[in-house]
Amino acid sequence: MKNLHLISRIFYVCLFLYLANSPIVAQKLSGSTKVSLITIAPGNELNDSFGHTLLWIYDPANRVDKAYNFGGYDYDTKDFYWKFVKGQLPYEMSYASLDAYKEYYQKNNRKMTEQIMSLAMGQKQLLFDNLEKTYNNPKTRNYMYKFYTDNCSTRIRDALMEACSDSMHLQNIPGMNDSTYRQWMNKCLLRKHHYWAAVGMNAGLGTPADERVLQINACYIPENLMKSMASARRMAAQHHLYYFVKSTKELFPTKEIDDEPSFFLTPRFWFFLLLIFTFYRTFRHWKKRQKGYLFDKILFGFVGLLGWVLLFLWFGTDHGVTNNNMNLLWAFPFHLPIIFWLSQEKAARDYWYGYYFILIGLMIIMGLIFVVQYSYDTVPLVLTLFVRALYHAAFEREHRMTNTKFRKIIKGRHLEVIHLEHEQSMEDGTE
């Protein structure tokens, strides 16, 4: 009997340990369960300018009120800012009651739109089970956020499509299949008047951001996901088609506020001012037979520093969209330190100065062709660099590119610097 009692105790201990370490079985939902896609309108802050998405499952019979959120992160993460810069900050899934979110977003005057999904009971249960399974496993609860391909909106899009399998069909929406990731991003930034942020983010992005995307990929923007769900269809039994969204409503009233900044605070104004000032300084340098290398050291030095930042974003981070950055054509990293080797004394005998500015001018032209496609605000800055490169390569009194010098460069012959006084004496001698 003692042995039997000991065996039974061991059995119950093992059973307890098994249940304690086994995955929690999701509860069964009732027929009154409601599944809703909640779309939060963009806010005025930069990190809020793209909007947000929640997936709400509400079952009053079983006291289930969970609005799932894939956009959270832990500020207490070790090396938080460094991981954020490098694209290695883990985001996490969480949930709260919808009223908790409503209180926060209403306080911040951000519209919340609810779309009640027309799902079968089996699809609701599968969706709930998958979400609970994802949340209860720390390995799947946390994920590496990718701005274009893996964020709060794409995670919910994928969860809905997985639960509905092949019964969900997106309908083509005109205008949602002819843009790039970058263009969708710019629409959001410029709509909220984040002009400086648009310049900076466009400078940091490489060619992956210019990939043309289909409607399903454009749903990385919460507003696009809302529009796609509104037009989607669901195939039910006996091949009956239903709208994927049963009804739509706004959860609370909001006030439209348009905080358009003054034109004098925008990058377009300051870069145009810099371009005009550069034209003026360059004309003064030409008139006084000066090279103005101090001005170039400030201008090209700053751009060179920017180039090193872009190079770091390309090779030193895991963002996935900052590689193959064509902005390096105009933000050439090696301006720093090459530009500081220029001096008035060396210019008279070092012929490589001419080659340098010819090469830089050609690179700036190629970079300008790339920039003008997505960021008009950056164009005056790039033109400023081209004006200085053109001045030193073609119009500077000592290094101006005459036809004879250009033919020598093409033939690979040595480029000699000829002073203006020598040219005039040679011309007087030939006459």
DSSP per position, 342-358:
--HHHHTT-THHHHHHH
Among 25-29, 48-52, 110-114, the range scoring the smallest mean pLDDT is 25-29
Write down the pTM of the prediction: 0.82
Q: What are the pLDDT digits (tens) for 244-286?
A: 899 999 999 998 887 888 999 999 999 999 999 999 999 999 9
Asked if the model's pLDDT at residue 409 lies above 60, the reply is no
Asked if the model's pLDDT at residue 399 lies above 70, the reply is no
Is pLDDT larger for residue 127 or for residue 87? 127
Confidence of residue 164 (pLDDT cuts 50, 70, 90): confident
Res 417: pLDDT: 45
Res 80: pLDDT: 73
Confidence of residue 412 (pLDDT cuts 50, 70, 90): low
Among 125-129, 368-372, 403-407, the range scoring the smallest mean pLDDT is 403-407
Res 127: pLDDT: 95
Tell how strand 168-169 and strand 179-180 pair up. unpaired
DSSP letters along 273-294, please? HHHHHHHHHHHHHHHTT---HH
> What is the C-alpha separation between 94 and 426, in angstroms, rounded?
81
Is pLDDT larger for residue 399 or for residue 48? 48
64 is written with which tokens? Answer: 């289930």
Confidence of residue 171 (pLDDT cuts 50, 70, 90): confident
Are 127 and 159 a contacting pair, CB within 8 Å? yes
396 is written with which tokens? Answer: 């500077």
Contacts 24+ apart (CB under 8 A), 31-36: 31/121, 32/59, 32/60, 32/61, 33/57, 33/58, 33/59, 33/61, 33/64, 33/121, 33/124, 33/128, 34/58, 34/59, 34/116, 35/116, 35/117, 35/119, 35/124, 35/127, 36/114, 36/115, 36/116, 36/117
Confidence of residue 346 (pLDDT cuts 50, 70, 90): low
> What is the C-alpha separation between 14 and 6, in angstroms, rounded?
12
Asked if the model's pLDDT at residue 420 lies above 50, the reply is no
Confidence of residue 353 (pLDDT cuts 50, 70, 90): confident
Res 403: pLDDT: 46
Confidence of residue 355 (pLDDT cuts 50, 70, 90): confident
> What is the C-alpha separation between 391 and 151, in angstroms, rounded?
47
Taking Cα atoms as reference points, which of 329, 324, 375, 323 lies closest to residue 200? 375
Average pLDDT over residues 151-178: 89
Res 404: pLDDT: 53
Res 364: pLDDT: 96
Residue with tokens 């209180």: 103
> What is the C-alpha separation between 210 and 366, in angstroms, rounded?
17
Res 172: pLDDT: 87
> What is the C-alpha separation between 37 and 47, in angstroms, rounded?
21
Are 111 and 250 a contacting pair, CB within 8 Å? yes
Are 399 and 418 a contacting pair, CB within 8 Å? no
Q: What is the dihedral of CA 15, 18, 21, 23, to 10 degrees?
A: -100
Res 78: pLDDT: 79
Backbone phi, then psi, for 110, in 5-degree steps? -115, 120
DSSP letters along 131-192, please? HHHHHH-HHHHEEE-BTTTBSHHHHHHHHHHHHHGGGEEPPP-TTSSSEEHHHHHHHHHHHT
> What is the C-alpha separation between 269 and 283, in angstroms, rounded?
21
Res 16: pLDDT: 44
Res 40: pLDDT: 96
Q: What is the dihedral of CA 187, 312, 70, 26, to 10 degrees?
A: 150
Contacts 24+ apart (CB under 8 A), 332-336: 332/303, 332/304, 332/307, 332/360, 332/363, 333/304, 333/307, 333/308, 334/304, 334/307, 335/300, 335/301, 335/303, 335/304, 335/307, 335/360, 336/300, 336/301, 336/304, 336/305, 336/307, 336/308
Asked if the model's pLDDT at residue 23 lies above 90, the reply is no
Res 192: pLDDT: 92
What single DSSP character describes residue 23? P
Res 11: pLDDT: 46
Confidence of residue 169 (pLDDT cuts 50, 70, 90): confident
Are 230 and 347 a contacting pair, CB within 8 Å? no
Q: What are the pLDDT digits (tens) for 275-320?
A: 999 999 999 999 888 888 899 999 999 999 999 999 999 999 988 8
Q: What are the pLDDT digits (tens) for 176-215?
A: 888 999 999 999 999 999 999 999 999 999 999 999 999 9
> For all residues of the chain together, what is the average pLDDT?
84
The order of strands in the sheet holding 142-144 is 142-144, 90-96, 64-72, 52-59, 34-40, 112-117, 245-250
Asked if the model's pLDDT at residue 26 lies above 70, the reply is no
Q: What are the pLDDT digits (tens) for 129-148?
A: 999 999 999 889 999 899 89
3-state secondary structure of 323: coil
> What is the C-alpha separation between 217 and 212, in angstroms, rounded?
9
Q: What are the pLDDT digits (tens) for 67-121?
A: 999 988 777 777 777 777 788 888 999 999 999 999 999 999 999 999 999 998 9
Among 96-110, 196-210, 227-241, 407-421, the range scoring the smallest mean pLDDT is 407-421
Res 2: pLDDT: 47
